[in-house]
Amino acid sequence: MSTLENKVALVTGAGTGIGRASALAFARAGAQVVVSDIDPDGGKATVEAILDEGGEACFQQADVTDPGQVEALVAHAIRTYGGLHCAHNNAGVLGPSAKLVDVADAEWATVLSVNLTAVFLCMKHEIAAMLGGGGGAIVNTASFSGLVAVPFASPYVASKHGVVGLTKAAAVEYGRKGIRINAVCPGATRTQMNIERAESSPEMAKAMTDITPMRRLAEPSEIADSVVWLCSDAASFVNGHALPVDGGAVAQ
């Protein structure tokens, strides 16, 4: 993997799971990392893990559904490290497990706000910063559910399909400006949210492993490595791509 020495990376939803693994992977590749999460305890723990490995990182709390806090987050990255070269827009929620007609209006609004509108807000300010700094690379966390239908998860599926579309539109708009924008589409991954879901339902645990031909969950580090690769010079001609990292789930 190409080095990210002297690069500044911003990761949202970095307090746990894929976001934490991504922040650690960026730091291991040599980047200075701005760790962001709505949960200060989780975010600060990620920073400590990076520092313990000899990396460089800082924490900035942010609710990425709030335009002002997103603007302040990107400004913090520039003020602290002098620029912004890589971003992983990862913050997200699962939402309800229910048939569409049983989804409350408020549940729909929350999922779309966190999973899709927040990605738009982050990209808006990240792209502006990168335009002023000579370019960069952005990866948005979508999902294999952004490529295929998954029953009983209509808000989540809609939001992740939206992330894929938003990624492609932005990639076409800004590729000629030196900004590459891609999406990573994880399959079922061993995050705290999925562990809790599996523990609450043996049927859900079986479904999460049965959905992939590899018959296991992904490790967060496997998703993170793909994110860092997409931000590196090793992926210098990859733009507007929605990369499944799902053990073959969508290939079936």
Tokens of 98: 């229910």
Instruction: Tell me what pLDDT residue 193 has.
Output: 74
Q: What's the pLDDT score for residue 212?
A: 86
Is beta strand 136-141 parallel, antiparallel or unpaired with respect to 179-186? parallel
Q: What is the pLDDT of residue 81?
A: 98
In the numeric block, which tokens belong to residue 141? Answer: 């966390």
- Return the pLDDT at 174: 98
- Can you give the pLDDT at residue 155? 98
CA-angle at 201, arms to 195 and 204, nearest 5°: 75
Within the chain, which residues score under 70 in pLDDT? 1-2, 195, 198-201, 205
Write out pLDDT tens, residues 57-102: 999 999 999 999 999 999 999 999 999 999 999 999 999 989 999 9
Whole-number pLDDT of residue 188: 85
Tokens of 17: 């799971």
Is 156 marked active-site? yes
Round to whole Å and give the CA distance between 243 and 218. 14
The structure tokens 């200075």 sit at 32
> Which DSSP helix (H) or strand (E) runs through 184?
strand 179-186
- The answer to whether the CB of 73 falls within 8 A of the CB of 8 is no
CA distance 16 to 39: 9
Q: Where do the structural domains in the chain lie, given as residue ranges?
A: 8-189+219-251
d(CA 194, CA 214): 17
Asked whether the whole model's pTM tops 0.85, one would answer: yes
Output the CA torsion sign for 208, 214, 217, 222.
Answer: negative
For residues 25 and 84, what is the distance between their CA atoms, to the nearest angstrom? 17
Picking from 247, 232, 223, the residue whose alpha carbon sits closest to that of residue 16 is 223
pLDDT at position 7, please? 97
Assigned token pair, 75: 């400004």
The percent of residues above 90 in pLDDT, for the chain, comes to 85
- The pLDDT assigned to 215 comes to 83
Q: Kindly list the distances between the CA atom of residue 129 and the CA atoms of 102, 104, 220, in Å, as whole numbers in the listed order.
A: 41, 37, 28
pLDDT at 218: 84
Q: Which residues contact 52 (CB under 8 A, 6 or more apart)?
A: none
Can you tell me the distance from the alpha carbon of 68 to that of 37, in angstroms, rounded to the nearest whole number?
A: 15
pLDDT reported for residue 216: 86
Asked if CATH classification 1.10.150.120 holds for the domain at 8-189+219-251, the reply, yes or no, is no
> What is the structure's pLDDT at 110?
98
- Catalytic residue selected from 156, 220, 239, 244: 156
